Structure 1
Amino acid sequence: MLRARKLSLAGIAVGALALAVSTSVPLAYGHGYTTTPISRAKHCANGTVQNCGAIQWEPQSTEGPKGFPASGPADGLLCSAGLAQFHELDDQRGGAWPATQLTSGASYTFTWHLTAPHSTTDFKYYITKQGWDQNAPLTRAALDLNPFLTVPMNGGRPANDVSHPGTLPNRSGRHMILAVWTINDTANAFYQCSDVNF
């Protein structure tokens, strides 16, 4: 009887500890990836591109410091958001990444799928300069650092699937679009790289 009571009390103590641990875990913040033009992360998740490492299971997790271009991930690590476990996204693979066909200067709707929407500052879209080095990892010097499309959210929470109509810049040949989703009430943003061809 005494032993049973001790075991019962021990069980209650373990249960209380488990409850305390589970309720102290912070809620997940926003996560998401671009679907048009399809990002490298989503190509990996779809299995369109092989040898992607961990990103194939979590294309929504390219989260790094916000403040791009003044701060944020280091040059050469923009597509992986500076996360070592996603370094495959920074490898240009000799131009082997599939590229979405776009028309220079045309209207286009950019879309994201957000697995965990969150209070948002804005979405911004950057593109590489004409003549950028396609064989080197993406850097700020390769990008036009004036976003060609900015969608302010002012702290609002977007839907799980969001669309941003805009106008494509004038470009020819192969380029990269860097989409940045800046979270309003954390120190982070999400970075998605899409290969495109005009």
Structure 2
Amino acid sequence: MSLRRRIAAVAAGVLAAPLVSVALPSAPALAHGYVSSPPSRQAQCAAKTVSCGAIQWEPQSVEGPKGLRSCNGGVARFAELNDNSKGWRVSNTGRTVTFNWTFTARHRTANYEYYVDGRRVGFFDGGNQQPPATVSHSVNLGASGRQTVLAIWNIGDTANAFYACIDVNAS
């Protein structure tokens, strides 16, 4: 192969590489964690209990900046998680509920928070340690009746958190 052909082949490769990387499907995110039971809204999507969009393939990916109070963590493509009229299944529980987190990537953990109607009902320090593959917290919701619990996993080594909403009927 002549030098001119080699240069042309290298130049073609350099020019084609960005196009190929954009055209190929991306691998699913390996991030990160969600409440698996009682089933969070994204867990219901993944189980096909409720018909959902992209979140059904990535229940662990509801990640956004710390400090938000939305079910979708500010991620526009998961906006349906904020839709209270979507037909989410409600889990019958007592006033004290055990929430089980499932992690696919275990970040160091600052803490976990639980909110009902904007009021914090639970806080657990993560000690800035990497959690095991699953973590459970028992939270006293205080009141009985139909409630949406916002569970937040605040990461210790990034500015982000993971968000999950769980619909319960506490008795």
> Counterparts of 1:8-157 in structure 2 under 5 Å?
10=10, 30-50=31-51, 52-66=52-66, 68=67, 72=68, 78-93=70-85, 96-104=87-95, 106=96, 108-127=97-116, 142-144=117-119, 147-157=120-130
The offset of 1:124, in angstroms, is 1.2
Structure 1, unaligned stretches of length 5 or more?
22-27, 128-141
One-letter code aligned to 2:2 = L
Alpha carbons 2:30, 2:104 under 8 Å: kept: no
Residue by residue over 1:93-115, the C-alpha shift from the partner in whole angstroms, topping out at 9 and shown as x without a partner, is: 17x210111112x4x42211111
1:167 Cα deviation after fit: 4.0
Q: How many residues align?
A: 158
- The one-letter code of the counterpart of 1:47 is K
Distance 1:82 1:4 in 2: 52
Which residue of the other structure, out of 162, 167, 176, is the alignment partner of 2:148? 176
CA distance in 2, matches of 1:157, 1:122: 11
Is 1:159 aligned to 2:151, yes or no?
A: no
Which residue of the partner structure matches residue 26 of structure 2? Answer: none
Q: Deviations over 1:78-103 (max 9, x none)?
A: 01111110111111117x21011111
Amino acid at match of 1:148: V
Percent of residue pairs bearing the same amino acid type? 43
Partner of 2:24: none
| TM-score normalised by structure 2 residue count | 0.80
Runs (4+) off by over 4 Å: none
Task: Give the Cα–Cα distance (whole angstroms) in 1 for the partners of residues 30 and 46 of structure 2.
Answer: 20
Gaps of 5+ in 2: 22-28
Q: What is the rounded CA distance, in whole Å, between the counterparts of 1:185 and 1:117 in structure 2? A: 11
Helix, strand or coil for the counterpart of 2:127?
coil
Alignment RMSD (CA, Å): 2.7
Q: What is the TM-score of this pair, normalised by structure 1?
A: 0.70
8 A Cα contact 1:31 1:60, kept in partner: yes
- Considering fraction of residues, name the structure with more strand: 2
CA shift in 2, pair 1:183/1:30, >3 Å: farther
CA displacement 1:129-164 (0-9 Å, x = unmatched): xxxxxxxxxxxxx321xx322221121001121222
In structure 1, the residue corresponding to 2:158 is in which secondary structure? coil
